[in-house]
Structures are given as C-alpha cells and as structure tokens.
Structure 1
C-alpha cells in the first residue's frame, strides 16, 4: 500500500513580497526656502515608507520651480511614470491632489494610466487611495476643486486683506525697527525708539544718510536684523510713515501671475491714521521728507537710486579689510593714461579713519581670472572634498520638523480660508471673524518664526551645496578664462575683502574664501 507523508512548508524560506513604494513631491518655486522645504518632504517620505515593514522604498521623485498645472513640463513626474511602466514601482504616495496635478484632465489621465498598469496612488491630504475606489467621481470632483484652488484661495485672501485694510484690523506681522508685535498690536521698543528719534534729528540737522549710518555703526548699534547700518537702512526709516502712528496699506500688490509690484496707484491704497503709538510727530516726518526730496533733486537721482548704485559688477561688493567700509568707483586721470580705480568710502571721507589706498579695476579682474583658472586646474583637490563635507551633514531631524511645521501651517491656512468663506457668505459677524482670524494669524506667526529659525540653520549648507555644484559644473569643463566677464563674476562671487593693496580675498557663494595677489 502506498504511503503518503505530508512535507510541511518551510516558513523560513518564504518571504512575503514587499510592495514597491515610491513618493512624489513638488514645490512651486525654486527659492532657497522652497528647496529646503523639498528636502524636508524627501526626508519625511523616506522615513514614512521605510517605517512600514511591508513596503520597499524605491525612491522619491520630485520637481522644483514649476507650477504643476501642466504635466508635460515636470521631468520628475514623467520619470516616475516611466519607471512605473518598467515595473519598478507598484504604489505611489503623494501629499495631495493639488501637488500631483491642478489640471483635472491631466490628473484623471495619469490616474487611469497608472491604474491600467496596476499601480495605485494614495493622496494623503484627501485620504484617497485610487486602488480602492469604485468610481472616478470623487477623484474627478476633488481634482476639479484642486484645479481652481489656488485662484480661489488667492481671491478670498485678497478679499479678506482688503476688508482688514478698510477697517484697520490688518496685522503687521513684521513691524519696522523701533516696534515689536505683541499679539497683533504694534508696541514701541524704547531703546530702538530713541535711535529712531536720533536718526530723524540728525537728518534735520543736515547730516546725510551715509554719515548717520557711520555714526550708528561706530556706536556698535545693530539693525532689526542684527546687521550693520547702511544709507539704505537709514533712508528706509526716514521715509516710513509708520513712525508717525499711521499706516498706508497696500503699498505693493500681486498681479494675476502672483508677481509682486510696487503700487503707484494701480490699486487702492488705505491710510489708517492713529493705528499705533507714534515715535515721530507728523510735522517732523513731513520736514524730513522735504529735506530728502530736496537732496534728491540736487543730485538729480530722484527716488530710484538703486540703478545708480549697481551700474557695475563690483558695485557694493568690495569691502575694506581695515574699516569695513564699501569701496566706490573712481576715474583716475594720469598723464600716462586714464584708468578706473576702487577706493574705500571711509578713506575718501577721512584718511585718519581709514588708511586703505585705492586698487585698480584691472587688478581686481586679473586676480579673479587667476583664481578661477586655479579652480579649473584644481577642482578635484579643492571643490570635491568640500562637497563631500557639506553633503555629509545630517539634517534629517530638522527637516522632519520643518515638514511637520509646514503641515500645521497648511492646516492654519485652511482654517483661515474657511473663516473667510463664512464671512463672505454672511454667516459670521465681523467682530467674531476678526477675533478668530487674529488668533490664527498669531499662531501662523509662531509657526513661521520656528520654521525660519530651522531654515536658517539648515539653509546655509543647502545653499552652499547648490552653489558649489554650479561652480563645479563650470570648472570641470576645463575651459581657461582669458577675458573677464561680468556674468561669471556675479554668478560665483558674493563679495571681496581688500586686505591690502597687494592682497584681496574672494568670498564665493559656495562658502570658500580664496585669497589672491593683487597686481597693480
């Protein structure tokens, strides 16, 4: 008789097949802050996917600096779909429909294409898994809402801001020097207020903005951002009506493409008198304005002085190693031939305060060419080790915290949007709206402040990596520079410090400080 013995399955030899999971994220602009936000999203999704034992982390696909309204300009998204077609991905996670696509047709087209490949998408914000949907109706509705979401939010936000402009309840999130924000109210900072009064008094006494800034720096006083005073910072105080206790709302505006413009009368402006406690009387403010207008008329510069300060690539970028002053461009006339030179502004005013002599324009350009050609020859020995060091810094915990803060800020925005919609529909009394909205504004400021602190700690190295990669891309081509070009200098150099007439230091945007001999 035949004997059958059952041989049991060896469970140790069977491993459950893991689901191949990828993530997709996008930021709409290529600013440094948004790029760090992108890094935070990448850290979040990698951590999220790897924490699930049933998932295999395939990778993260992303796009930066694009709007998301059209899929055909998003290389990251198209690369992800191509990998789906090759069988490398089985499941996709993304933050929301609006991050995936704001065009209904494109969204449904991509979802159907991926569904045909047996691939599902999970939208975190809407809690939608396309693999468990019985119909496309809900996705179609939500993606249609996402398509118009940015315009709707923008219009409602503008309406809300306009109403707060009109009734004087708009909160100034970042008050000027001399004031602070106390639960939505501008309050005076006594020590800074005294400095503001001195600035106005000095102007009325005949001192120029450069001289005032020099005196403030000599006393060791710092600006609101803890920096050095300059003529521009002093002028900004002298022309800011907020010091009279009044506020002019909507000095700038955004167009339909979300570009910011100065308001020269294209939009309504709103003057709110007695908005907060003044530091300067209206009479003194008007007198100072008249003085500044007279000076501008005498110089022939008008109010648009920025273009005069930045006509040359070295303008504002050369600093004195002795006194910290900024070098100014001068034309030297000599029997042997005329030439352009750069001289410390402090030395021009007083040789006793600074003994640094001029340096030639051609000498700076020759030193720059020498430095760049050294990098072309030695980029493997200089730039690659620096890149490895910067990339080795672990910011994962801070990036995850940034991601969490951004989620909380989005929730805050959704709540404000709901409040605005209820107010616009007449379901909320203005007093209730203002009270609840102010609570959300203060909370937003707290979240934004913490985020900015983290961005500052993370951002420096991220920006340096980006700039270093650009420099390496340029130097690895191996092309020796023979002529100075403004565009190349501005692309890689942040500033120059003049140590002496024989030595200058180039401070590159990637963080390197390279000294070069100056040939006069």
Structure 2
C-alpha cells in the first residue's frame, strides 16, 4: 500500500484561474482518485498557496514533503496535473525522471494521465513540462507588459507603500502622507543636511527607541510586513536604512518604480536599473520634503568621503565607503587600518557571537573590482580604483568569505 502525499499549489504569478486551480478543487480531485484506488492511502497533505511553479527551493510545503520522503514516511506523490508540481521544464523533468525514481517514489499527475508505476504517458509528460514552461514565459511577458503601462502612468503597483506614506484607501495605486512616520523622514534629512553621518543618525534613532520602518509597518500600520532584505539577527536602525531613505525620490512627490527587474522569468535574481531608465512620474502625491532639500542631500552624498588611513594613503578617500557590506549580517564593512583591509562592523563591535570577520585585504578587493569592472566593460584598463569610479559604476559590493565577492553594477 503506497503512502501518498497530496501536493497542491496555486499562484497568481502563474496566471492561474482561481476557481479551476483552487486548492479545494485540487484536493477534491486527489481524494476522489485515491478513494477509488486499492493500492494507495492518503498519508499527508502539502499545500503551497501563493508560490510560483517556476521555483522549487522557496516552497516550504514542497520542502517539508521532500523531508518526509527522505525519512521514509511517503512512498508516492499525487498532483492534479504536472503544472502543480512545477512549471519550469528542466527542474520539473529532473524530479520526475531522476529524483523520484532514485528515491523509489511513485508519481501521479491525474489529469495528464501520468503514473510512474505503469509508465503511462511518459513521452507526453515531456511535452507537458515544456508546454507549462512556455505558458509561464507567455504569462510573465503579458503581466510585465500590463504592469509597465500602469507604472509609466505613475500608478503604484507594489505591495507596500514606502515608509512615510500609506496607501490611499480610495485608490490603492496612490499614496497619502502618514504624518507620524513622515516626521521621522523629515528629521533624517534635516540631520543629514546639518552634518550628521548616516551611521550617526541611525544610532540616535536607536537610542531614542524610534521604530524602524519594518516595525512601524507591523506595529502601527498593522500590516503583515516582512523585510526580505533584512538579515537574520539584524535589529534597529542601521546605515543601509538611512541610506535608502536619503536616496528615495518618492519623498519629493514623485512616483518612482522599475528600480530593478528579474534577470529571467525563471530566476529570483534581480538587476539594478539605472535612474535614467526608471519610471519616474512627478507630482503623484503630497511631498514630504522639497526637491531642493532632496538635491542638497544628494550633493552631500557625492561629496562626503572618509579617509582610509592605509599607510601613505591617508589623504586619499576610501573608494568603497557606503557600498561595502557583509554577506551575512548586511551591515557595512569598516576599515581596519593596522591590517590594511576591511572587516564586518558587526563582528568588530560585537564579536563572533553575532557575525564573522569577513576580513578582506584592500589590495585583494581592489584586484577583484578591477577584474570585474573590466569584464563588465565598465573600464578597459584600471590602474587605480578611485572613489569617483566606484560611485559612478557600482551600486553595492557584498563580501562573503575569502575571495567570494558579489558586485552589483549600476
């Protein structure tokens, strides 16, 4: 008797019909199929509601199901059709043809007539996985096209309004000023223009117990908000948060969208979009700060530099100031003058209970940056990495360990 896992999945990102592909309908079909069988029992139900079929690793219930398979609790998987298992051709086929057979797992896709025990419709299954992939590509293109039109009109098309605003209850594509948070935004700009550093502003807000944007959204606005970019263990205001607020043109009344885009409809990795290619529509909501104040802040950001103190380079500015971050905690790497390199500021201040050193020699980082910039065609030959070169062409540098560095170009 096969102990079967009923796996159900639905996602609006796949352009699926809410009624025909509903979890309830999937479960009903699976239960009826198992009840009519004399060699299967329903062992457990696994539901990924709201997860795209293009990815497997980010689905919590799919991963739980695989863990139960490895523990021997499940001998088979049954889905409404192959698209419920996945829509990405290569990885879905890999599970069906290699992973499941290697683990001696029976796989059934009811509406596609696939049953790995009887080897039914195996050839058809290959065409189905390819068709599902093509369908996702087509849906992705159509959704992207529709969103682009709306974004170019200045309609907000994301989930949460930026800190300082709230969605207009009468028009979810427009903003209203949230005065309590807006006061903090104005204060941040005022302090920055008065000479405070971004790190100094963050420390002062933490000392005063001011809620971070994420905490404010959850505790005051009552939103189910999670900051996807926040690193585990990272709490309170920090340099990156202040930096983002000071760079966000939305506070001048402009709607700014299309700041990044997926490298591929099959990937969750994004690329930064240069400002001149972003969709910026002026005068879409009440400004929190004036355009003049915003531009003053940008000019200060360009001019403000830090001396690295590396031997004879004391008079030269640190080319990586503000863009060199730790791959684990997300906080900036700071100068370590005695060792002629950079080290995670969290580790430096709190020790290895909170993060690792991630130390990198300056000459090593310079070498990596030169090589990558030449590969990207940002510069043909580089004799010296300068601050002007870095702020013009690099958005962020993330240091993980050893020579493991990720550079995001503008």
Normalised by the length of structure 1, the TM-score is 0.41
Distance (whole Å) between structure 2 residues aligned to residue 248 and residue 210 of structure 1: 25
Ranges in structure 2 where 5+ consecutive residues have no aligned partner: 10-22, 48-52, 57-62, 216-234, 309-316, 357-399, 405-410
Aligned to 2:184: 195
The reply to whether residue 160 of structure 1 matches residue 146 of structure 2 is yes
Spell out the pairing of 1:463-474 with structure 2 (5 A cutoff). Answer: none
Match of 1:287 in 2: 296
- Preserved CA contact (<8 Å) 2:259 2:273: yes
Residues 188 and 96 (structure 1), Cα distance of their counterparts in 2 relative to 1, 3 Å cut:
farther
Aligned mate of 1:205, from 194, 214, 228 = 194
Contact 1:253 1:261 in 2 (8 A): yes
Task: Within 5 Å, give how 1:389-468 maps onto structure 2.
Answer: none
Q: Secondary structure at the match of 1:168?
A: coil
Please identify which structure carries the higher helix content: 1
Number of aligned pairs? 278
Aligned to 1:94: 79
Query: How does 1:118-517 map onto structure 2 within 5 Å?
Result: 121-123=108-110, 127=111, 129=113, 143=129, 145-182=131-168, 183-226=172-215, 227-256=235-264, 258=267, 259-264=269-274, 268-296=277-305, 300-301=317-318, 305-307=322-324, 309-310=325-326, 316=331, 330=336
Q: Provide, for residues 296-318 of structure 1, a one-character-per-residue CA deviation record: whole Å limited to 9, x for no partner.
A: 487734676332x549x99959x
**Other structure's SS at 2:213 match:** coil
- For residues 179 and 24 of structure 1, do their structure 2 counterparts lie closer, same or farther at Cα, with a shift above 3 Å needed? same
Query: How far is 1:280 from its partner?
Result: 0.5
Distance, in Å, in 1 between the alignment partners of 2:330 and 2:335 is 8
Check whether the contact 2:166–2:178 (CA below 8 A) recurs between aligned residues.
yes
Tell me if structure 2 keeps the 8 A contact 1:50–1:57: no
Change (3 A) 1:290 1:60: same
How far does the alpha carbon of each residue in 1:179-220 deviate from its partner, in whole angstroms, 9 at most, with x for none?
122333222111111111111111112222122222212221
Question: C-alpha separation between the residues in 1 aligned to 2:156 and 2:301?
Answer: 29
Q: Secondary structure at the match of 1:275?
A: coil
Report the structure number with the largest CA radius of gyration.
1
* Deviation readout 1:347-377 (Å, 9 max, x if unpaired): xxxxxxxxxxx9999xx689x99xxxxxxxx
Partner of 1:23: 5
Counterpart contact for 1:92–1:120, Cα < 8 Å: yes
Alpha-carbon distance in structure 2 between the residues aligned to 1:190 and 1:128: 55
Structure 1 distance, partners of 2:236, 2:188, is 15
Change (3 A) 1:135 1:169: same
CA distance in 2, matches of 1:281, 1:241: 10
Residue matched to 1:479: none
Equivalent position SS for 1:93: strand
Shift of 1:165: 2.0
SS in 1 for 2:4: strand
Question: Partners of 2:349 and 2:161 in 1: how far apart?
Answer: 42
Residues 212 and 66 of structure 1: is their aligned pair in 2 closer, same or farther, counting only changes over 3 Å?
Answer: same
Q: Deviations over 1:48-74 (max 9, x none)?
A: 869977742467999xx9958xxxxx9
Residue 160 of structure 1 and its aligned partner are, at CA, apart by 1.3
Q: 1:172 to 1:146 in 2, by over 3 A?
A: closer
**Deviation at residue 236 of structure 1 after TM alignment:** 1.4
Q: Which runs of 5+ in 1 are unaligned?
A: 1-18, 28-40, 69-73, 318-326, 333-337, 346-357, 370-485, 491-520
Structure 2: how far apart are the matches of 1:52 and 1:135?
A: 19
Counterpart CA distance in 2 for 1:149 and 1:285 is 44
**Whole-Å separation in 2 of the counterparts to 1:243 and 1:145:** 44
**Cα–Cα, structure 1 residues 290 and 151, in superposed 2: closer, same or farther, change >3 Å?**
same
Counterpart contact for 2:254–2:285, Cα < 8 Å: yes
TM-score for the superposition, normalised by structure 2: 0.51
What is the deviation of 1:129? 5.0
On the 8 A contact 1:341/1:360 being kept in 2, the answer is no
Distance 1:297 1:285, change over 3 A: farther
